[in-house]
Amino acid sequence: MGSVEALERFEAGEGRARAWRPWQLKQFEFIQATAISTPPRRHFSRGYFLITSIQSGRADNQYRNTCTSDRGGMGKFRVFEPEEAWICQPQNTTFLGITIDPTWLQEFATEMLQREQRLPHFPSHCLFDPALNKALYDLANCSLTPVSRLQQEEMLLHLFAPLLLLHAEDAGELPRLGREHPAVKRAKEYLQEHYAEEVHLQELAAVAHLSPFHFARVFRQTVGIPPHAYQIQVRLTHARALLAQGFEVSYVAHETGFFDQSHFAHQFQRYFFVPPGNYC
């Protein structure tokens, strides 16, 4: 598709959405939705940072044990960190979002500060910064047209340098929300390794060395979503990578462990607002 892997718009319940990778850079992905309305849904940012900015409408969020209601207005945006869950209900919401590969962001921080950096952490995920918000929209608009590599890098710097310098803190210097339970860590690693298989609760509980009841409760309390939902997120992460490589939807559905192509398409569109057939 030339300089950008753009995706066609589609009807998403009430509203439309599209997604694209700016200048075919695999570390980023924009999602732009217009007048989206959905019931409350639990989301999980597996393996990426997510920045969202609402232009109009309203979105009710529950994140880090805090309930908020966002209304459209330039200057305000949210940062969701990897491996965290939240609940969102958009109501006639028009928004722009970008996902960022955490490894890239960590390397960017290390290069910018000229010292080894751990993964950036945003203690306040609700931010107000009109200049930074404008940089996000400028990047999105410019990414739909061919530009030089130098201009690409300058625009990325213009967005992410102030984001880190003004709003992030080094993860190594901050108390986190809690150390991950070793049983949950073992279970997540097992699901990541066996994501395409039918995994039973008893099987995961054995890996975690807990009873099924205790394991299910601890996993949900720690991760924010139940084990089956985490497995779906892992499957979708692999599915996106396969689709980006040009594999057919039917093949991707089979390889990532979904019941059938219809089930895969439903889950993919539910979480990413675009159908897999139009992705990349």
Q: Could you tell me the residue ranges of all domains in the chain?
A: 5-173, 182-278
Looking at residue 135, its pLDDT comes to: 93
Distance CA 189, CA 252 (A): 22
pLDDT of res. 170 = 60
Strands (E), 101-247: 120-121, 126-128, 169-170
Query: Strand runs (DSSP E) across the chain, as ranges?
Result: 5-6, 10-11, 14-21, 28-37, 41-44, 49-63, 66-71, 76-80, 85-100, 120-121, 126-128, 169-170
- The CATH fold of domain 182-278: Arc Repressor Mutant, subunit A (1.10.10)
In this structure, the strands spanning 85-100 and 66-71 are unpaired
Q: For 5-173, CATH number?
A: 2.60.120.10
The answer to whether 5-173 and 182-278 have equal CATH topology is no
Using alpha carbons, list the distances in angstroms from residue 21 to 29, 100, 145, 268: 5, 11, 12, 17
- Please give the chain's pLDDT, 280 residues, in tens: 333 333 333 334 457 888 899 988 889 999 999 988 989 988 888 778 899 999 999 999 988 888 888 888 778 889 999 988 899 999 999 999 999 999 999 988 888 777 777 888 898 888 999 999 999 999 999 998 888 787 888 899 889 989 998 999 864 343 344 457 899 999 999 999 999 998 898 899 999 998 888 888 888 888 888 888 899 999 998 998 899 888 999 999 999 999 889 989 988 988 887 889 887 6
Looking at residue 5, its pLDDT comes to 35
Task: Provide the pLDDT for residue 134.
Answer: 92
Q: What is the predicted pLDDT for the residue at 186?
A: 94
Q: 175: which DSSP letter?
A: -
Cα 239 versus chain centre, distance: 14
pLDDT on residue 3 = 31
Bridge-based pairing of strands 28-37 and 10-11 is unpaired
Beta strands, E only, 113-271 = 120-121, 126-128, 169-170
List the beta bridge partners of residue 63.
66, 86
Q: What share of the chain is helix, strand, coil (3-state, %, to 5)?
A: 45, 25, 30
Query: Per DSSP, what are the bridge partners of residue 30?
Result: 20, 98
DSSP 75: T
Q: How far apart are CA 210 and CA 182, in angstroms?
A: 11
CA triple 220-88-196, angle to 5 deg? 50
Q: Return left, alpha or beta for 9; rule: phi > 0 is left, psi -120 to 50 is alpha, else beta.
A: beta
